[in-house]
Structure 1
Amino acid sequence: MSKQLSVFLENKAGRLSSVTKALGEARINIRALSIADTSDFGILRLIVNDPNRAYQILKDAGFTVSETEVIAVRVQDTPGGLATVLEQMSDANLNIEYLYAFLGTSEDDALVIFKVEDIKKARIAFKEKGIQFLEEQELYQL
C-alpha cells in the first residue's frame, strides 16, 4: 500500500503553483500527479517521495490535504496491457474508484495508480494472478 496525497484546490490562478512551490522548496519530489476538477474546485492527487513530510508541509501552508491508500501496479506498455490487468481485476471482483498512469522505469512498462475499495483484497488478488505491484518505498524512490 502506498500513500497518495489529495489536495483540495480552489479554481484560482496560482493555486497549483503554490502547492508545487511549497513542495519544491522542501525538496519533496513529485513522482506522479492527477487533477480532477469542477467549475469551482479541483482535487490534486500526488505521489511524492516523502508523503508524511509533504502532508505536514502542505497543512502548514494552509492547504486542505488528506492521505489515501492506493496501490501501484506495473503494467506492460503494449496495446492491451492495461486491459489485461483490468480484466483480471474484474474477475477478482475488485471495484476501481479511479486510476491514473505514468511511464514506468523501462521501455516495457507503465505504472498505474489504483484507488480500490479494498486494498488488502487487491494485494491478495494481484499476488494470485501474478500482477506485479510496487511496494511503498519502491514507488517513492522512482
Structure 2
Amino acid sequence: MRPSIVHMTISLSAVHVFTDDPDASLAFYRDALGLELRNEVANDGFRWLTLSTAEQPEVEIVLSQPHAGRSQEDGDALAAMLAKGELPGLLFRASDLDAAFEKVQASGNAEILQEPTDQFWGVRDAAFRDPAGNMVRISQA
C-alpha cells in the first residue's frame, strides 16, 4: 500500500541583509529603491528593520547588524566580510531599469558598479553597492 501524498507548498518569506548603519541602509532601500518599511525592532542595543515591495509584500528584506544576536567573534567575522563586500547580494527586477538606475544614482547613497548594460546571457541589468557594501543588482523585467 502506497502512502498518501500530501500536497505541500513552500515560499520565500524573508532574506537577511547585514548592515553596519541601519539608518543609511533604510534610506537606500526605502528612498532609492522604493521599498516600504514594515517593521522596526530594537533589542539589546541593536535593531533590525523589515522592508518589502508593494508588489511582493509577503517577501521581506530584513536589515540587521552583524553583531545582533551573535557572539563577538561571529559578529566580528560577519562585519569583516561585510566591510570587504564579500556577503551575498540581492537581485531585484524592475519594470523600468533606466528609471530605477536614475533614482538610485540620484540618491547619492550607493556606489555605482555598472550602469544599465545588456549582458551576454540575455539580461539587461545594473549593479550597485548599498551603503553597507552589499552588492545589489537590478535587471529589466
Tell me the TM-score range normalised by the shorter chain.
under 0.3
TM-score, scaled relative to structure 1: 0.27
Instruction: Name the one with the larger helix percent.
Output: 1
Which has the bigger relative contact order, CA under 8 A and spacing at least 6?
1
**TM-score in terms of structure 2 length:** 0.27
